[in-house]
Amino acid sequence: MFKDLLNSARSNFEAHQRAEEIRHLDIDPEEYVMLRDDKSPMAVELLKAVLEKLNLPKWEVDEGTSRIVRISEVQGSRKNWSLALTSDTRRFHLKIYRDFDADLEEIDLVACRGICAAINFVETTIQELHERRIREAEIRRIALIKEEIRRKKEEFAKIQAKVEHVNKTFLSIYAKELNSFKLGETIIESAIRYISDKVDTLPHAEILLPAGNLQNTLIQFAGEQFKIIDNVPCKLDEATGAIRISNSFIKYCVNAKNHIEPKCGELKFNEETKELVISFKDSNGIQVGPQKVYREPASSREPILSFSLRQKSSIPSPHHIGIQARTIELVSDPLQEITNISAKVEQIDASMRDEGAKVSVLSIYLETSSFRDIIAPINNLLSSIAENVSLIAWNSKNSAGEAE
Amino acid sequence: MFESGLKYIDGINIDAMLFSNPKKAVVINELRHNAINYDEAIAKAKQYDYPLITEEAREMVDRLIDDSSLTKYEKYIFKLHNKKWNFYKKSSINSRG
């Protein structure tokens, strides 16, 4: 134990002595020259002692040249030096080895009077350069990230604009297809308007009548046979006593060249004179062309039209459907389809207003995302309604016949 | 055998002299002129004996350094100065630095 204490005391003393030896150790440029010229082991030892004092692991003594050098990298047992400290009798210099930082060549050691200050200055400068490079790299990295963020924001904005555009387009379509009804409009009214809008967009020149024209047909059904046109709804205007044929149908009347053009047609039946007056008005409500007056032959079989009108007082308005045309066949299927649907919808609106049809249609509407999807259910619904209406009409006719 | 007549001068505080000036070359010159009787020996010697006297004076200064309380590194550096620098006249010590 005593020996251990002695050894401990001895090692402490030696450490203290060593610390004292190197505490004030320093050499100036001239002494560095002398020391290197001396080429003695003591010169190398002194230089090592200087580095021991500075405690810089990257620095070492090149024993071949008695120079202090800085290690840039270690490859196995081989060490590459980045720079060496040299001097003349007045000042220190740096010898920069190739492939090392060119910025170090600008290091000026003129103000370093001692070797310790010179080495510390070089090391501090290298550290500062290293940190500056890291900062610059970080700044570049942040700039790149910012640029990336800016680019992504732009992309996002573009995508957002596209999405917004798509949304708007979709909403526009959606609104047109589904939500085009106006405030206070019923679903059916909205649907009718939607169909009418579609009809308006159809090219008129492509819609031709096969033979004759609507006027002739009207003449026919105003005459002896008084044919009924399928699915053409006519409403009785109770205030004026006029029969108004659905605009979506009648407004496409045939002009002199057998082309359909939009006009508002009106049928008016005068019960007293038994005359059927057909007139056409343009979109401003101004009458176009002369009125055509048809008289129902007294001997003819009572047509449904007159029957309907006659039954006006006995059948509560507006639960009756008037004319059913049979003879007109339109070439254009879309128009036919739309016309039929329009007619049926109007039929529903007219006949089932108080009987829950609106609710039924509304529920169909709510369950689908496309107007076209509701056409089939409406058709089905309308077919059943039409059958009922026909049945009512037939029953009424029969009952009227029986009464006569 | 050549007798230089060089000898140490008694009563000189070598340690104090070594730390008297940060310029070691100056300190070395002071040791040569003040710690040994170099000037006296030169005055008595013939000119062709000067190198021998100078060389012996260097060795005597080295011994003074060795006997001082300096660290081994400081002693080494002082000896380097002692080895390198030529001898100057005593009167020129203060003007040189």
Instruction: Name the nearest CA neighbour of A272 among A290, A295, A251, A249.
Output: A295
CA pair distance A72, B4, nearest whole angstrom? 55
Checking if the pLDDT of B92 tops 60, the result is no
CA pair distance A134, B67, nearest whole angstrom? 53
Q: Which residues of A touch B84 (CB under 8 A)?
A: 34
**In-domain check, residue A172:** no
Range of the domain at A250: 204-403
Mean pLDDT of A194-203: 43
Checking if the pLDDT of A68 tops 80, the result is yes
B79 interfacial to chain A (CB closer than 8 Å): no
Nearest CA in chain B to A43: B76
Phi, psi of A252 (to 5 degrees): -95, 85
Checking if the pLDDT of A367 tops 90, the result is no
Tokens at A73, concatenated: 């990298």
Interface test with A, best of B69, B77, B82, B86 (most A CBs within 10 A): B77
Given A63, A96, A126, which residue is the final one in a domain? A126
The count of domains in chain A is 2
Checking if the pLDDT of A195 tops 50, the result is no
Q: Which residues of B touch A35 (CB under 8 A)?
A: 77, 80
B71 interfacial to chain A (CB closer than 8 Å): yes
Whether A113 and A219 map to the same domain: the answer is no
Q: What is the pLDDT of residue A274?
A: 54
B91 interfacial to chain A (CB closer than 8 Å): no
Q: How far is A64 from chain B (nearest CA, A)?
A: 19
Whether A243 and A330 map to the same domain: the answer is yes
Give the pairing type, strands A264-270 and A252-254: unpaired
A22 interfacial to chain B (CB closer than 8 Å): yes
Handedness of CA A64, A65, A68, A71 (dihedral sign): negative
Q: How far is B76 from chain A (nearest CA, A)?
A: 8
**In-domain check, residue A374:** yes
Q: Containing H/E element for A277?
A: strand A275-281
Residue A137's pLDDT band, with cuts at 50, 70 and 90, is very high
Whether A248 and A387 map to the same domain: the answer is yes
Whether A215 and A117 map to the same domain: the answer is no
Given A109, A126, A143, which residue is the final one in a domain? A126
Mean pLDDT of A227-232: 32
Report chain A's mean pLDDT, rounded to a whole number: 60
CA pair distance B44, B34, nearest whole angstrom? 17
Given A104, A126, A148, which residue is the final one in a domain? A126
**In-domain check, residue A55:** yes
Q: What is the pTM of this model?
A: 0.49
Residue A266's pLDDT band, with cuts at 50, 70 and 90, is low
Mean pLDDT of A268-290: 57
CA pair distance A245, A236, nearest whole angstrom? 9
CA pair distance A303, A317, nearest whole angstrom? 19
**In-domain check, residue A155:** no
Whether A365 and A229 map to the same domain: the answer is yes
Q: Containing H/E element for A261?
A: strand A260-262
